[in-house]
Structure 1
Amino acid sequence: MTDLSDVAVLIPAFNGQADVERTLASFRETSPVRVLIVDDGSTPPIVAPAVDGMQIEILRMPKNGGIERALQTGIEALAARGVRYAARIDAGDLATPGRLDKQRAYMEAHPRVAVLGMWTHVVSTDGAPLFDLRPPAEPAAIRRTMLARTCFTHPSLMLRIDAVIDAGNYRARYRAAEDLDLILRLMERHDGANLPEFGLFYELNEGGISATKRRAQVISTLRLQLRHLRVTNLLDWFGVVKSIAHLLLPYRALRGLKAKLLKTTSSA
C-alpha cells in the first residue's frame, strides 16, 4: 500500500455540491486520501460527503473571492498542516485510478520537479469525449514550448508545496490565468513535467472560466507571455500571435478548430 499521508487533494468550490461529490467519488487509490475543499462562499455551504477511504476537510471563505484567492488560501492551509504535495482537481472533473500514487512516486524520484501534470481526456458535461490533450512530458520540451501552447492541464497538477510557497503562491495579479502565472514562476527555479498517461477527465463547461472569463484569461496570458518572452525563441513569438488571435476571433470558432485539429492529430 502506497503512503499518501503527505498528499492532499485541493479543490476550490463555489456551489456545485453534486459536482464536488462526483469528483471525490472518482478517486481510486490503494491508501487513504486526504482532501481539502476550499468553499469560496457557497450558498448553501458545501457539505463534506461521506466517501470511503477519504479524510475530507472544508475550509470556508467568508465570502466569494475568486479561484485565485481560494487556491492561495488552500496552499497556505496545507503548508501549515505539513502537507508536502497538493493534487489539484476541480469540481466536475474526474480522476483516473491511481493518479495520486503515480504522481507522488514521480515527484519523489525527481526532486527538481515542482509541478507535475498528466495527459487529459476532455469531455462534455454529459461525459461525451471531445478531444485529448497530450502535452510534452519532458522538462526540456516544456521549457521550449511553454509560452506557445498549453503545456499543463491545471486540474491534473501535483504541486510541491514548499516550492509553491517560495515562488509566492497563487496570486490574483493575472486573473483567470493564475495557473500559468504560478507555473512560470516555479519554472524559474524548478522543473515541470507531465506523466505521459491519462490522469484526468476534464469537463468542458460553457459556464466555466475558459468561456465566461475568456477575454480576461487571454489578456492575462498575453501579459505573462510578454513578461517572460525570450526574444530569440520563435515559439514564444508564436504564442504571442496566437493570444492576439484569440482576442480577435470568436470563442466557439476557436474551440471548434482546436477540437478538429486535436482529433485529427489523435487519429493520425
Structure 2
Amino acid sequence: MAEKQQQDPAPLVSVLIPARNAANTLGETLSSLLAQSFTDFAVVLVDDASTDETREIAEHFAGHFPKGRFQILEGPGQGISNALNTGLAVIESPLVARLDADDLSESLRLERQVRIMNRNPDWQLCGTEVSVIDEAGQIIDQMECPKSSVEIRKRLFEKCCLYHPTIMFRRDAVLALGGYRPHFDGAEDYDLYLRLLEYGKIGALNERLVRYRLHPGQVTARSGRPYRMVADMALLCAVARLHDEEEPNFSEDTLANDVGQALRAELRERGFSHISPKVARHMAQRIKKSKARLEYLKGLLFIENAKARNYKEATKALLV
C-alpha cells in the first residue's frame, strides 16, 4: 500500500491582495514581496473581475515564488469585502498581511511585523506607518500612527487611524468575527478594527514599512467623501456594542440609497450621549454636506452639549 503523501505545512504568513484592473502597478507590488527579508510566506491574490492584463501579470510572477506559495483566485466582482473574504476562506496561515495591488512593502516589513506579533500575543492586529507615493512611485509625504495600543483604541473611537494595506492580523480572530462586512465597503477596514477591539488589542509599528500610493480613483479621493459617512455608521455600530445596545441595522440598500439620511435618522434615534461632542459635530457636518435636513439634529446636538455644560461645543453645534 502506497504511503500517503504528506502535505507541506502552511506558511506562517499569507499576503492577501485583492486586485481589479491593476495591470499598471501589480508587477511592482509583487516585486516588493520578492524582496522581503522574511521568507516563510505565501501570496493569495484575488483577481476580482479584472478586464485588463492583471491575471496574466499575476501568472507570470507566480513562477518567481516557491512552488505552492502563490495562489490566484477568481473574485466575485462584488466589492472589496467579498474579494477579501474569498481569499480568507482558503488561507491556512495563522497570520495574514494585507497589501493592495498598487502599494509596495518595504523589504523588512513582514520580518518586523512577525516579530512584534510574536512578542505581543494579545495583539490581534498590527499596522505600520506609511510613505505616501504618487502615481509615478515618487515619495511625496508620510503618514504616522498612534504610538501605543491604548492610544490606538482611543483614536479609533474618533476616526480610522490605521492604513489598510499595512495591517497584519491573526486569521482566527478575524474569522471568528465573520470576516469583512460587505455593506461597510469603503470603510470595511475601520469596521473590522472596531470589532477586533472587542477581541483583543491592536498595535502599530512606528516605522514606515509600506509605500501607499495616492491616485484619483481610490475610495478616499472621491467627491464628497461618502466613505466618511459609512465610517460614521461603523462607529455608531461600535458605540452601540460598547454599551450593550443592539447594533443599528444598516443594510446595503440603506447605504446605497441615502447615506446622509440614514446616518441622521440613527443619530436622532440615539442622541449623542455615548459619542464625544467633537465626533458628533463632525458627523453632523458630513450629513449637512449630503444635503439631508439638519434642523432637529442641530437642536439636539446643542441641547446635549448645553446640558453637559460643554458650552464651546454647544456653540459650535449652532454653526453646523
Cross-structure match for 2:51: 43
Between 1 and 2, higher relative CO (CA 8 Å, sep ≥ 6) is seen in 1
Matched, 1:11 2:17: yes
Pair 1:21-2:61 in alignment:
no
| TM-score scaled by length of structure 1 | 0.82
SS in 1 for 2:217: coil
Instruction: Tell me how far apart the structure 2 counterparts of residues 10 and 21 of structure 1 sit (CA, whole Å).
Output: 15
Determine the structure 2 residue equivalent to 1:67.
80
Distance 1:176 1:203 in 2: 17
Report the Cα distance in structure 1 between the residues aligned to 2:128 and 2:147, rounded to whole angstroms. Answer: 8
* TM alignment of 1:236-255, pairs within 5 A: 236-246=276-286
Using structure 2 for the length normalisation, give the TM-score: 0.69
- 1:95 — aligned with what? 105
**Could you report, residue by residue, the CA deviation over 1:174-203 in whole angstroms, capped at 9, with x for unpaired residues?**
121100111111111210010011111100
Counterpart-to-counterpart distance in 1, 2:274 and 2:121:
27
CA distance in 2 between partners of 1:135 and 1:214 (Å): 25
- Tell me which amino acid in the other structure corresponds to 2:36: E
Dislocated runs of 4+, deviation >6 Å: 230-234
Q: What is the one-letter code of the residue matched to 2:278?
A: F
Q: Quote the offset at 1:37 in angstroms.
A: 0.4
User: Residue 57 of structure 1 aligns to which amino acid in structure 2?
Assistant: Q
Change (3 A) 1:129 1:52: same
For residue 265 of structure 1, what is the aligned residue in structure 2? none
Specify which of 176, 185, 193 is matched with residue 195 of structure 2.
Answer: 185
Taking structure 1 as reference, are residues 125 and 84 closer, same or farther at Cα in structure 2, changes over 3 Å only? Answer: same
Residue 134 of structure 1 is matched in structure 2 by 144
Contact 1:148 1:237 in 2 (8 A): no
Deviation at 1:161, TM superposition (A): 0.2
The SS at the match of 1:18 is: coil
Percent identity between the aligned chains? 29
Q: Secondary structure at the match of 2:36?
A: coil
Provide the secondary structure at the position in 2 that maps to 1:8. Answer: strand
1:190-245, CA deviations, whole angstroms, 9 ceiling, x for partnerless residues?
100100111111001111111237643112111122223377887x4433433444
Q: What 5-or-longer segments of structure 1 have no aligned partner?
A: 251-268
How far, CA to CA, are the matches of 2:137 and 2:287 in structure 1?
A: 29
- Alpha-carbon contact 1:11-1:90 (below 8 Å) kept: yes
User: Is the CA contact 1:117–1:152 (under 8 Å) kept in the aligned structure 2?
Assistant: yes
Instruction: State the shift of 1:247 in Å.
Output: 5.5
* Aligned-residue RMSD, C-alpha: 2.5
Structure 1 range deviating more: 159-168 or 147-156: 147-156
1:115 aligns with 2:125: yes
Gaps of 5+ in 2: 1-9, 243-271, 291-320
Distance in 2 separating the partners of 1:130 and 1:10:
26
Deviation of 1:32 (Å): 5.1
Which of 185, 188, 207 is equivalent to 1:197? 207
